[in-house]
Amino acid sequence: MSRGSGMMMRWVFTLVALALLLSACAPTPTPPPGPAASPTPVVIEKVVTPTPAPRPREFVLGTVWEVPPAYHGNPFASGGVGGAWWFVFQPLLIYIPATGEAIPSLAESFQEAPDRITFWLRQTGWSDGTPFTSKDVWASFVMMKLMWNWPGEVDRVETPDDRTAVIVWKQPLANPKALISSAPILVNMAAYGKFAEEAAKWLGQTGPEAEEALNKVRQEVSNFKPEKPIAIGPFQVESVSASEMILTKNPHHYAAQKIGIDRIRFLRWTSNEVMWAFHLAGELDASHAAAPKDVADQILQRQPQTRLHLVTDLSEFALLFNLRKAPFNDVRFRKAIAYLIDRDKVREVAYFAGLTSAPYSHGVLKSFEEQWLGKDVLSTLTAYNPDPAKAEALLTELGWTKGPDGKWRDPAGRTPEFEILAQAGATDWVLAAEAIATQLNNQGFQVRARAVEPGVYPTTLRGGQFDMAIQFGSAWWGAAHPHTGYGRLYLWEAAEFTGAKDIMKTAKGPQGEDVDIVQALDNLLKEPDLERQKAIVRQLAWITNENLPVLSLLEKRLMIFYMDGVRVTGWPAENDPLWTVAPGAIERFYAHLLIEGVLKPAP
């Protein structure tokens, strides 16, 4: 109801009340005498107040999804599933980065060997009523390999019986449980078996015939658009609109009776600002919407039952350089930029809860520096403290000059204009881009920050249509291990954005040795000995710090706002290692708390 209509109704009620009052106060007219009448029986009506429908026991979160009719339930096709992902799908186990412990999830138990993990599966069911079997595990990994070429470390999945699945590795891995925790079971044989069986005939083969056959299956999978996902997780999608997505309990899930929450209600997360408004109004039970300090303080003051928990996100915000493009393709220019930025001031403006990465940019998260590098190694690295004199020396060496107007000119005498891109709606990234642009402008460059819509931001970066950009740099999601971070910088998403995937395949190491970065990462993945892992990490840290494919800004700590005692209660203690499950997939953390009965309805 609008404020105007509410005002109108109050006037109506006032007028009605006034009319009744006037009627009661008026003299009652005396009727003329008439014949005596028989007494009229009085009927006493019993007024029954209807019992209000019980309020649903719900858990309210924010997330993203495709607005119908684009929304569908295929996890392998664009627009499918959305933020319901970790509630409708579930991994075989949950890995806790803080302790290295693994908790059985869809698996009732498991046993590790150097080349495999054997899982004994729970008696549970999909939301369509189909029983969960080892063949579903097999089909999920075949489909992930077909559509994503991941996880490449898996050689095969064996299914000796319906309740046993054996995941066999191509080679022993340093941390296989973390990988399994990141790979939920996605499909059942009933709906996706025909795709998986056809793909299995051709996966691993090479040549035109195999590629044609696999592409045909991929196209068929992409065209398959069921209305809703088939859930093996604790909840199923009930309804989807432009503003809300409702999940209800999967009645066939093994923990259905243990889960006290009846439904998940998602509010649409279009920007951090929208999430702040929901929190200020008390409409959210939890979110990890990054907020400036003043906004965070307002939320905590306005909603006294809201708490703020900080836990490492196992990731860094970074300034990405376009290595394909001059002058960013010259490491001296990148170093000059590093010397001109006060990264701690960027942190204060963009993400006060983070940990400043300065003075290094080595790819190891700040909170893990001592564990993996130590002071002796750090002392050998170049420290990029703000130092305009060092920046000027590097720029002069490159042929840049500063004019009488204080502006830097390139070797051709031009005053180039640069852009720093950030994803629109990601308030922290936009603030970081603006803060860096301001600092560089104050040092004689011409730089502007520009926000790009989320739907085109990744393709803009992959296409090399940028100078600098704010994105995640090193990220250890799921594994809490440096391999994941360096993989991102040199092989995966960040490397595709910067161009390092093609440009930085080799580099000089700290002793002047030639280092094959791809091979070093492969060795790190497979090395079981911790000290030998550290030796590889230290080599990669030196290469990363001296070549600056990205400039690390800060280690992100998740700002988890959660409300206790309104709709849900039972959140873990502040020092509980379970919080470290949240980075990279916070909904997996929420789902685990519900499955285990830790998070339950408030009284």
pLDDT digits 0-9 by tens, 473-522: 999 997 889 999 999 999 999 999 999 999 999 999 999 999 999 999 99
Classified as helix, coil or strand, 262 is: coil
What is the Cα–Cα distance from 176 to 92, expressed in whole angstroms?
12
pLDDT of residue 466: 99
What pLDDT shows up at residue 50? 61
How many independent structural domains does the chain possess? Answer: 3
What pLDDT is recorded for position 48? Answer: 55
Q: Are residues 268 and 187 in the same domain?
A: no
2 pLDDT exceeds 80?
no
Strand extents, DSSP E, 186-289: 235-240, 244-249, 263-268, 286-287
User: pLDDT tens for residues 276-309?
Assistant: 999 999 999 999 999 999 999 999 999 999 999 9
Residue 109 within a domain? yes
Q: Choose the final residue of a domain: 193, 223, 253.
A: 223
* Residue 346 pLDDT: 98
CA distance 297 to 559: 12
pLDDT of residue 51: 59
* Boundary-marking domain end, from 171, 189, 223: 223
Q: What is the CATH number of the domain that holds 479?
A: 3.10.105.10
Say whether pLDDT at 42 is over 80.
Answer: no
The answer to the question of residue 169 being in a domain is yes
**Per-residue pLDDT band at 56 (split at 50, 70, 90):** confident
Please check whether residues 172 and 298 belong to one and the same domain: no
Q: Are residues 246 and 162 in the same domain?
A: no
CB 433 within 8 A of CB 422: yes
Q: In this model, does residue 68 exceed pLDDT 80?
A: yes
- Which residues are registered as beta bridge partners of 418? 447
**Run of H or E residues at 319:** strand 306-321
Residues 317 and 456 in one domain: yes
Flag whether 458 is in a domain.
Answer: yes
Q: Which of 83, 160, 155, 82 is nearest to 121 (CA)?
A: 160
Which two structure tokens, joined as six digits, stand for 253? 């899930």
Contact 498, 467 (CB under 8 A): no
Is the domain of 353 the same as that of 297? Answer: no
The residue type found at 579 is W
Whether the Cβ atoms of residue 471 and residue 320 lie closer than 8 Å to each other = yes
- Is there a domain that residue 142 lies in? yes
Are 418 and 547 part of one and the same domain? Answer: yes
Please check whether residues 348 and 400 belong to one and the same domain.
yes
* Residue 229 belongs to some domain of the structure: no
Site of tokens 């941390």: 175
Please report, for the domain that includes residue 119, its CATH number. 3.90.76.10
> Which pLDDT value is given to residue 478?
77
Residue 208 structural domain: 88-223
Residue 208 has pLDDT above 60, yes or no: yes
Residue 118: is its pLDDT beyond 60?
yes
Domain at 308, CATH number:
3.40.190.10
Kindly state the percentage of the chain with pLDDT values over 70.
Answer: 91
Instruction: Tell whether the model's pLDDT for residue 36 goes beyond 50.
Output: no
- Last residue of a domain, which of 223, 245, 268? 223
In 149-241, alpha helices (H):
176-181, 189-202, 208-223
Res 46: pLDDT:
52
Q: What is the mean pLDDT of the chain?
A: 92
Residue 18 has pLDDT above 70, yes or no: no
**CA dist., res. 377 & res. 409, Å (int):** 37
147 pLDDT band (50/70/90 cuts)?
very high
- Claim to verify: residue 255 and residue 353 sit in the same structural domain: no
Helix (H) or strand (E) holding 551: strand 550-563
Band the pLDDT of 22: cuts 50, 70, 90.
very low
Residue 36 lies in a domain: no
User: Does 195 share its domain with 250?
Assistant: no
Q: Is residue 21 part of a domain?
A: no
Mean pLDDT, residues 100-127: 97
Q: Is residue 102 part of a domain?
A: yes
pLDDT band, residue 53 (cuts 50/70/90): low
Q: Are residues 100 and 183 in the same domain?
A: yes
- Pair (178, 265) in one structural domain: no
In this predicted structure, the answer to whether residue 602 has a pLDDT above a threshold of 90 is: yes
Q: Look at residue 455 and tell me whether its pLDDT is greater than 70.
A: yes
Distance, in Å, from the CA atom of 22 to the CA atom of 29, rounded to the nearest integer, reads: 15
Q: Are residues 436 and 361 in the same domain?
A: yes
- Give the residue-averaged pLDDT of 90-97: 96
Lowest-confidence segment of 45-54, 288-297, 353-362, 555-564 by average pLDDT = 45-54
pLDDT at 493: 97
Query: How many Å apart are CA 529 and CA 538, to the nearest integer?
Result: 15
CA 493 → CA 303, 489, 497, distances in Å? 38, 7, 6
